[in-house]
A and B are shown apart, each in its own frame.
Chain A
Amino acid sequence: MTSSPFVRRVLAPLLITLAGFILWEIACRAFGISSFVLPKPSAIIVTMVERFPALWPNLWQTILTTLIGFALSLVIGIFFGALIGMSRFAYDSLYPILVAISSIPKVALIPIFVVWLGAGTGPAILTACVISFFPIVVNVATGLATTEPELEDVLHALKASRFDIFWNVGLPRTMPYLFAAMKVAISIAFIGSITSEAIASNRGIGNAMLVATTNFDMPLAFAALLLISITGVVFYFLFVMLENRMTGWAQRNKNARP
């Protein structure tokens, strides 16, 4: 198919979503599905717009906890990724421990975080952080471990320190790996935040969903879901844009050399 990037990347997904909504609407009307079981998309969208002033502060709270948790996970992820990517000993000794930590279902940790920090913002940030740091660690370590040995030799012969090599070669060459990981990590950080809010918080979009379902306000619950999806897409594409700006050289690299 030959079509412009705008049609493929923006128009087509929107049209497909719209088609899905129309099918859903028709099905709801044709089979007379109760709005308590599955609300009509039209009703969901109307609720979303009408209740937006009430939903927005909750969504904003979730966005903030996600971003803070994600920032923390970036710092921790880059630190451990750099450590195990640069040192064979650190790799062998820490990797199994990191795998063990990442294997714990994070939902199981939320009650513990609540005991530590009290319900609300604290556990949401911490959950977003612990759920999203592992892909960052793995990708940073991979990027560092694949540095060309000849290049390291050139710098070693110049008596460059390990930090010099990390700063000038390892870190920049890790950027494409880091940004690939960030796209994944931001999405799961968002999920972590919402999960934590649904379990133990009186604020945030996860809590708003929980409240809506306990009040049997299904259109509101679905409106919150729709907002979550939209925010997830926005997060993802913000990081794609950032990636294109920061690591354009890695994509250009795929073009044929003269």
Chain B
Amino acid sequence: MPTRQDILVELERLSLTFEAGGAPVTALDNVSLKVADGEFVALIGPSGCGKSSILRLVAGLQKPSSGFLFLGGREQAANALSVGLAFQNPTMLPWLTIERNIMLPLKVVPPFRQQYRRERTRSFRDKVHEMLRLVGLEQFASHFPWQLSGGMLQRANLCRALIHEPQLLLLDEPFGALDQFTREELWGVMQNIWQARRPTVLLVTHDLREAAFLAERTIVMSPRPGRIISDMQVPLARPRTSEQSYSVEAVEFCQHLRRLISDPATETGR
């Protein structure tokens, strides 16, 4: 378990309720969670278990109904942390080239925005091209989004989420809409990025192999109302490969996760 000082994200007895058709629905019930700096955590669970809500709360897009949220040791209102966000839908701006799309965070995030006008054709462009090389898109910098395939757009989406070097990367099923081969290839890309830059990552997914491939630690959540029912380290060495994700340990680990989700009563986490 991480020590007190290097905890980047801390949820303390967090609950979220909202109104749906007149009746209150509890999306999250008393969730407590600590994520250490540099950790890669996967949130998994059946749909509607509130895992995306956790991400939205951490991103500051929603306010909790009760409980506390600390980012970098401070109450969330302090906004001390820089955050990158990527969803399943890449939402590139159709009127900008891929290069300029990826530069968008540099245009609005404080340390960079003051230099944007001066550096957009110099050091910022170099930064973007370095990111694009990392995901294998270097020839597509000056293409427009409609000229790229879904997998390529998702690579660009990852670049946009990472370009301003966020301390915290929030991924909401970013590989969910891709075919199997592209998805596994991007797992490799994501692993390389994480190993090279070590951002803290919260990944929401319902792909168990994805969680086992990418994460250091998996958090399993129960169906609504969302509660954490298991919190485990992934017992697999890095760097992980696609073939390795079919190994006995990996498959056993995935099956364990699967049993937790389908029948939470019989199984308890460590």
Q: Does A154 contact B (CB under 8 A)?
A: yes
Name which of B32-40, B128-136, B142-150, B224-232 contacts chain A: B142-150
Interface residues as binary, A121-156 with B (CB distance below 8 Å gives 1, 0 otherwise)? 000000000000000000000000000101101111
B107 touches A168 (CB 8 A): yes
B80 to chain A minimum Cβ distance, whole angstroms, is: 11
In the complex, what residue of chain B is closest to A153 when comparing beta carbons? B61
Q: Does A250 contact B (CB under 8 A)?
A: yes
Interface residues as binary, A152-184 with B (CB distance below 8 Å gives 1, 0 otherwise)? 011111111100100011001101000000000
Chain A residues with Cβ below 8 Å from B192 are: none
B61 touches A159 (CB 8 A): no
Interface residues as binary, B89-125 with A (CB distance below 8 Å gives 1, 0 otherwise)? 1010111000000001101111000000000000000
A169 to chain B minimum Cβ distance, whole angstroms, is: 7
A37 to chain B minimum Cβ distance, whole angstroms, is: 54
A257 touches B164 (CB 8 A): no
- A169 touches which of B87, B93, B164 (Cβ 8 Å): B93
Q: Does B27 contact A (CB under 8 A)?
A: no
A168 touches B144 (CB 8 A): no
Give the CA-CA distance A249 to B95 in the complex, in Å.
5
B108 touches A257 (CB 8 A): no
A77 to chain B minimum Cβ distance, whole angstroms, is: 21
- A148 touches which of B89, B104, B148, B164 (Cβ 8 Å): B89
B85 touches A157 (CB 8 A): yes
Give the CA-CA distance A156 to B59 in the complex, in Å.
8
Chain A residues with Cβ below 8 Å from B109 are: 158-159
Q: Does B67 contact A (CB under 8 A)?
A: no
A153 touches B87 (CB 8 A): yes
Q: Does B221 contact A (CB under 8 A)?
A: no
Q: Does A4 contact B (CB under 8 A)?
A: no
A172 touches B83 (CB 8 A): no
A258 touches B149 (CB 8 A): yes
A156 touches B95 (CB 8 A): no
Chain A residues with Cβ below 8 Å from B86 are: 154
Chain B residues with Cβ below 8 Å from A159 are: 60, 79, 108-110
Q: Does A253 contact B (CB under 8 A)?
A: yes
Q: Does A245 contact B (CB under 8 A)?
A: no
Which of A151, A158, A175, A257 lies at the interface centre, i.e. has the most chain B CB atoms within 10 A of its CB? A158
Give the CA-CA distance A173 to B160 in the complex, in Å.
19
| Secondary structure call for the A interface | helix
Give the CA-CA distance A175 to B95 in the complex, in Å.
10
B61 touches A150 (CB 8 A): no
In the complex, what residue of chain B is closest to A164 when comparing beta carbons? B108
Chain A residues with Cβ below 8 Å from B204 are: none
Q: How large is the interface on A (under 10, 10 to 19, 20 to 34, 35 or more residues)?
A: 20 to 34
Chain A residues with Cβ below 8 Å from B91 are: 148, 150-151, 154
Give the CA-CA distance A234 to B144 in the complex, in Å.
32
Chain B residues with Cβ below 8 Å from A9 are: none
- B144 touches which of A151, A169, A249 (Cβ 8 Å): A249
- B85 touches which of A153, A173, A175 (Cβ 8 Å): A153
Give the CA-CA distance A71 to B69 in the complex, in Å.
49
Chain A residues with Cβ below 8 Å from B56 are: 153
B95 touches A172 (CB 8 A): yes
B146 touches A257 (CB 8 A): yes
Give the CA-CA distance A155 to B101 in the complex, in Å.
12
Chain B residues with Cβ below 8 Å from A173 are: 93, 95
Chain B residues with Cβ below 8 Å from A2 are: none
In the complex, what residue of chain A is closest to B89 when comparing beta carbons? A150
Give the CA-CA distance A142 to B170 in the complex, in Å.
30
Chain B residues with Cβ below 8 Å from A155 are: 104, 108
B83 touches A157 (CB 8 A): yes
Which residues of A201-258 have CB atoms within 8 Å of chain B's CB atoms? 247, 249-250, 252-253, 255, 257-258
Chain A residues with Cβ below 8 Å from B89 are: 148, 150
A157 touches B107 (CB 8 A): no
Give the CA-CA distance A166 to B60 in the complex, in Å.
19
Chain B residues with Cβ below 8 Å from A250 are: 94-95
Chain B residues with Cβ below 8 Å from A169 are: 93
A150 to chain B minimum Cβ distance, whole angstroms, is: 5
- B146 touches which of A157, A161, A252 (Cβ 8 Å): A252
Contacts A154-B161, A158-B109, A253-B146 supplied; 10 other A-B pairs, CB < 8 Å = A153-B85, A158-B84, A158-B164, A159-B60, A168-B104, A168-B107, A172-B95, A249-B94, A255-B146, A258-B147
**B interface residues, Cβ below 8 angstroms from A:** 56, 59-61, 79, 82-87, 89, 91, 93-95, 104-105, 107-110, 144, 146-149, 160-161, 164, 170
Which 6 A-B pairs rank lowest in CB-CB distance, beginning with the nearest? A151-B91, A157-B59, A160-B108, A249-B95, A157-B85, A150-B87
**A interface residues, Cβ below 8 angstroms from B:** 148, 150-151, 153-161, 164, 168-169, 172-173, 175, 247, 249-250, 252-253, 255, 257-258
